[in-house]
Structure 1
Amino acid sequence: MRLHRMKVTAFGPYRRTEEIDFDELSSGGIFLLHGATGAGKTSVLDAVCFALYGEVPGVRPRIRLRSDHADPDQLTEVVLELSVGGRRLEVTRRPEQERPKRRGTGTTVDRQFSALRELLPGSGEWTALSRSHQEIGEEIKQLLGMSKEQFCQVVLLPQGDFATFLRADATERGKLLGRLFGTGRFVGAESWLFEQRSAVEGRVRAQDQQLIALAHQMRQAAGQAADELPLPETAPGEPELAAEVLTWAAFARTAAREQEEIADLALSAAESALRETEERLDAARETALLQQRYAEAQARSAELEAGREQYEAASARLERARAAEQVAPALDARDTAEREHRTAEAARQRTAAELPDGPTDADPGQLAQQAGQLREDLGRLDTARRAEQRVSELTAVRGGLDREVADDEEAARDTDAWLADWDQARADHQRRIDTAHEAAQRAVQLAGQLDTARASRDAARRRDQLIAQEGYAAQRLLDARENAATAREQWLELKDRRLRGIAAELAGELADGEPCPVCGSADHPAPAEPGAGHVDRATEERAEADYLRADEARGAAEIELHTLRERLATAREAAGARTAAELADQVAQLEPAHDDARRAAADVRPAREAWELAELEHQRRVDARQAARARAADLLARRESLDAELALLLAQLTEVLNGEGSVGEHASRLERLAAAYTEAADAAKAASGTAHRLVEAQQRLADAACRAGFSTPLEAAEARLDPGELRALRERIEEYQTRQATVAQVLADPDVLAATSLPPADPQRQRAVFDTASGRLREAFAARQAARSRCAELDRLSADAERQTAELAPLREEYARLKRLAELVSGSSAENQYRMRLESYVLAARLEQVASAASIRLRRMSSGRYTLVHTDARISGRGRWGLGLRVVDAWTGTERDTTTLSGGETFFASLALALGLADVVTDEAGGVRLDTLFIDEGFGSLDEQTLDEVLDVLDGLRERDRAVGIVSHVADLRQRIPAQLEVVKGRDGSLVRQRTASPAGVRG
């Protein structure tokens, strides 16, 4: 940024218009701004800041910028011409100010005025850019890359502030650095981390609630085995909860297994007793059994001989099925490859059909190349976007020209009639302006009242809605709690009923001819029958699942009710005690009044423009018509130029868009096409890969079928049997062989042959004793089965707990990581050695950069004696960590506090600090070049040698093509700096005198 010229009128101490040529002052690199105390030296800097930002440094109100010496009709105005970002601009600012009414007595208020113009390169003409105060402020801020506060610290260099900064504690330094570098986003990052930690903590607690519920289920399943083992009392969210629950589960499983071992011993004793009675019974019925076996063996032998042909055919089929099993993996692989290829081919055809040219057989490389070409076309649309934007701008400008031409023609026709009514029209214009100003003030007041009323009304409506929702949520919570209790009672009841009917459940698993798992007998003369209300395992598990779902619903209802109550408290605080209807009535009363005042206030600018136009027409009188015609000719020429440029741009857009609506629509179409070609390329590549794998699978299948003895894969597939068929076939063959061996063994058994010669035996004598022993065995078996079921249930629940713990582990790690990071950035972690918050850490890095940049100049100013260094430690236990400044004295080799510097040393140290901060903030702002700097006061505290050193450093700034303005009343500087701007104070206001620098240098 370089300043060229500035013109101030009725500003501060300046009564009349004063012009300053900064180009002439800056020709030597350094210039001096001096004058008597109170003459207005600082007002020159205030004018620069006011022209750029519409505000002055510090807290002075803009309404006091007007000179008390100025004539009443003279408007306060600042016009600044500068170059920034390769553009030459002119900024005009007028503050809000009072002036006498043009008719009648009293004063009226002129609103603030801003205007921005740009010098067109090569043409030498100025073009208007904006008259909006906000638009101009945003444009200047974007070009300079810094706010007003940063500009005042970087360009105007207030030395008193930096001396205070140099001596300040870490807290005050942090406030200034935070404003300059905008570190509020790091405070936002801290808040975000804490929010994330709270959210993850809630999820961890919810998962822990489920783990605790599993622990209670295991406690119920363990029964008496865990009566002496209480559950852990760890609360949700505690890190050791999972370990304690799993440890308790291991103890519960151990106790249950001890009960199972006891049941096993009881079962063994019952089995021993049964065997004794069985031996006595067997001795009584052995003869009858052998006789019966002989007769049955003869009958079965005849049956086996009749089925021999079927047995031999089944054996041959089994051999081929076993050979086919060797080919099964290759068959499965071939089937899998076929399915994958069909899926990939369908995807390829679908994506190809979605292309603009329909289905295509192009290879993936061509499709990917087409997608890349489309994305390149998309990138080339930037020029068309700029052309489209320029068309909109030209259309708006041309519309304005048309309106100006129409206004001039109408003005020319109405000139004579208007002059006749001039006196009345002037009075009407003045009344209109006064009325609009009063309406503007009223609109501002009503707007504040309306915003407050609307906010309270909306909060009251939210409050009323949340009150109703709170009632519903409380009822839902009550219902959820009742449902959870009912579901738990139902589950426990079903579990108890199932345990009572476990014998019938075991009997349901018996099969004819297969041994009983309790007694081992293949005969089942009297299996237990299910009683009324029998419950199976599936029913019990469904009841348990219903209870778990009901318990989860209860937890969700509790969270919902808590959230609603927090939102309701916030809404009540914002709404106050008034009802929503009362607040809505207040808004309804304020809105019409505000709309009327706003519409009336909008007439301020049109009224002033109409007044100014009327004055101009009155002054020109008869010459007005000819002047309007001359303007119309000029406007016509400008309109023709705009039409030519507009036609050229429209032709370019038509060629690029090819009939499409806009550049955005064309870009959207290209994006969709690029995505379609990319998807088609991926699908084609996948289809090619699956086809290759299918061919390989078919080749492996043919090889496997040949090795297994089949002529074709189809033959192997036909010979293959599913597991059920293969098992049934093998069982039939084995059954035949077993029956055949059994018959042969029976017929050849000497005992059987001997028994046939004996008389028939009667085995009923020992049956009663045997039945009693069997009953005891069934009771022992039922007890053993119950113990096993208890162990199995505990194993299942323990596995669920372990799985849930494993699933929760990543979430716990995330919570621990977020908690650690949140405590680290907030400065509460032991790992944070200096207890620095994240914002302080960033500011410390910035301060370290500033100290490094400042030390380069400080060493030169102090003849190599002083260096500024940054320290992370607190200074004397005060302020924040990480924002300490120390000065190193090379003469003594010691490091000491900056407050120990003398007055002159403090000045050049603060000057070096200010220049260093200017460099760092400039880099932070994007490297905006600052070609004009001002240094305000402080040189009077320097001796002659130090002054030479300081001026050498400042002289070195012009090596970077910078101009430095020194604001000082030190007389010695007038001899050293030829280029001067003197502010002369007088009773009627101040004025400026400018003296050009000689090309020889800055000092004589």
Structure 2
Amino acid sequence: MRPHRLTLTAFGPFAGTQRVDFDELCAAGLFLLHGATGAGKTSLLDAVCFALYGGVPGTRQQPGGTLRSDHADPHTPTQVVLDLTVGGRRLEITRRPEQPRPKKTGTGVTRERAHSELREYDPDSGDWRALSRSHQEIGEEIGQLLGMSRDQFCQVALLPQGDFARFLRAGAEDRAKLLGRLFDTGRFAAVEEQLARMRRSAQDEVREADEALLALAHRMRQAAGPGAEADGPVAMDGADGLDVFGPGPSGPSAPAGARRRRTAAGGVPDQRTGGPGGAADGGADTRTGGAETRTGAGDPALAGTVLAWAAVARSGARERRDAAAVAARTAEEAHAAAVRRLDDVRELARRQQRFADARQRRERLSAAAGERRHDAERLARARAAAAVAPTVALRSRAAAEHAAAADAETRGRARLPDEYGGADDVRLVELERDTRQRLGALASARRAEQRAHAIDAEITTLERESRADEDVLRDAGEWLSGWEPRRQEHQSRVERAQSAATRAEHLAGQLDPARRRLAAARRRDQLEAELRTAGDELLAARERAATAGEHWLDLKERRLRGIAAELAAALAPGTPCAVCGSTEHPDPAQPGAGHVDRRAEDAALEAHRSAEAVREEADHRLRALEEQLAAARTEAGGDPVAELAAAAGELEAEHAAAHAEAAGAHAAREALERAEAEHARRTGERHDAERRTAARTSHREALLREQAALAEEVRQARGDAADVAERAAALEDLAARLAAAAEAARTARAADLRRGEAETQAADAARRAGFGSPEAAAEAMLDEARQTALQERLERRQAEEAAVAAELADERLAAAAGEEPADPEAAEAAAAAAAARLRDAHAAEHAARTRCDELDALGARAAADVRRIAPLRAAYQRVAGLSHLAAGTAAENELKMRLETYVLAARLEQVAAAASARLAHMSAGRYTLVHSAERATGRGRSGLGLHVIDSWTGVERDTATLSGGETFFASLALALGLADVVTDEAGGTPLDTLFIDEGFGSLDEETLDEVLDVLDSLRERDRSVGIVSHVPDLRRRIPAQLEVVKTRGGSSVRRRTAPLGG
């Protein structure tokens, strides 16, 4: 990687734009970057790092910090541009950090996002070609080309102030951090972590399998039940497990005898321990004088212990199952005997109770004998009264009908006039007939009265129609009186609209040319402005083309002056010279200062041609604009845009008004047509109303004459009534009341006759049945349901008497009554106790069989788990051994060196070898750096020691014993050696330019010369070294210099060349 140019603007202490030409500085091989403290020397290196990686080294860009110069103008953006060659490619990187800028509109500031751009120079075309504007893509591209990260680059290309002096004196841990960043040994640390994860995973698998086996053991203990206590001591208290994974006497390497201390008593394994290596206390927990030993999760003896205890538990369970079966058979026999005894006692108690109940029922029947006789007599009288029931019912119905008829007759006579109150039913019929004859005589008068009412209604209708026609005649007369002015107004509107349409058409023909002139005038003014701008652009393009041409001619002339050196560069021994033809070249020409090669001349020529093309394009555009302007002026004339716009606006207004008025022509014609139709309708309505009025007058006079004749007829017929209808209604009501009263009188007389006949028949039937009167027979009557109930009650009493007699005559009942009273409750209690003992025996037998089955199943599962755990435990022991070895904790790892440390130690050994070659030169052959693999004391890391061998004394000692100056050139040699090794490690990408920041002030003059000789020797590897220092003596020893000058307005850089020794 070789930088060519660095351009930075508003970066760090630099307020404006500063340019650094590294090609000029690196031409000398060794150059000095100096300036006052705080001027910004290190900021130039930060700018290089920022351009490459988008960040600055170390802690100089903390969160919340900024790279922007406080001296810069707010409108000047912070930017870094780096032109470099890397991997054989010429690249240009432009970066802007996120920064504030003033808002384009309004006040205040806004945050501008970070910007990156990567371009590549194409030597064929001589142009820069854009590659990417993505931060991520640019970072990946630069990282791949350089082959190292930002931290690596900052350590090997920008050798920082004091970092390697601290590295030289640092402990193993600090050296490991730096070396780990530079050599990317994270993959080896990842291997360590992966092995640790595999160990923990295998450990968890073994623990889980052991815990599952312990869980099975405890399930077997639960399945064995309380009776298993007799098989031996059982250890189960649910203690929490202890993690015993790891090395030591309780780990995987512990001897089997130390983990297999288990008594023959067969106790259940415990869960005290948590790892496959054994219990935390060595795998055993002895209690009460050694009577019991615990085996927990992680103990290799766990599997055998569980299987042995399972076999003992199954044997005991089978013995308990057989004993439970014998006990169940005995309980079944005892329960059967108790059930038979209970049945016998219950039968005796039932017979004794039946005999006692029979005697009680016989006494109760004897006490109720009088009630039985009364029921029998009552049933006999009811059956005798049943023969009289029809006549008694007929007598009751006849009496009820007579009472209803007499009441109806009384109500009917009460509605008649007083003069008719004493008439019998025959006279009432005659009076009704006379009344209806008088009602018939009123029919003609009623029709006359109805016709008179109809004539009144018709006359009223005629009067209403007359008033309506009068309104029609009045409205029509008023409307028709104003018809002529109204017609003339409508006709005038139609004529005005037609005239406006003609005027609008004429204005439309004038409006389009006015609009075209206005558009041309506007285009004319716009083209005049564009023409002025194009003239300025053409002038600038001509100036740039002239400048580019002059630059090209200048380069061409300079190249021609140095063409001899260019031809001499192509000479080779034995080949003829292209100028003189000689094959000997004793003194070939050398390029002078500022020599120009063909590539630079071609680039200048291409720039000149590009500028000429831009000029020609600007010239063509100017001529095109002049032609367009001439056409616009021809069409628009010289009138201003404002006048043309006003004239076009007036025409548009007049046209819009005429068009709006013409738009009402259709509506005006329709209004005229509607008015003429209304005139015709109004005229017709007036004629019709006049005709109807004449006809209505003659018809009304005829109706009045007919009404007078009918009024006399009605007056004579209605008498004292208000009208004929009222008279007819009164006669109709009287006739109806007379008819109702006559009918009620006839019905009452017939009902009285039927009542007398029914009284006679009922009295005769009661005497024949043995009753003194019909009332006595009615009192003895019972309905069929009550008779049936009485009969059934008598029969039940008779049946019960027979049953009681049969019970008392039964010899078995009598014999049972002579025995001692039975006690069913005692027999039931004895049977229940036997049943409970039987249930307990069956439950115990079932539980014993279930335990045997469950223990068999759990034992099979335990055997399968034991087979599954064996390969898991073997895998854990292999992985654990590798993990401890890689972590440096295994006994085989004598230096206690981790895998990553081992790799870093190899890299450090390479660095020490590379550094020693330069250190020997700097120290006049006295010192050599060597890698030390001594084991660290305490918990320190081994393998990263660094010693120095003093050839004057032959003693190897720690680097911390070096003096200040010795420490500087030792750390410098270490840094250069580290740069070589890291470069090779990163893929061989050469770092053609190195920067060394400070540290030379601690060297004496002789040592400084030796150090500078070493740095100058780097040119043999085509390297350039930049020294960042403010040591005055270096300004006399290094001719190529770049000075950083600080002022109140910000820092600046300037190129200086000092004479050697000056």
TM-score, structure 2 as length reference: 0.40
Larger relative contact order, structure 1 or 2 (CA cutoff 8 Å, min sep 6): 1
TM-score, structure 1 as length reference: 0.43
Structure having the higher Rg:
2
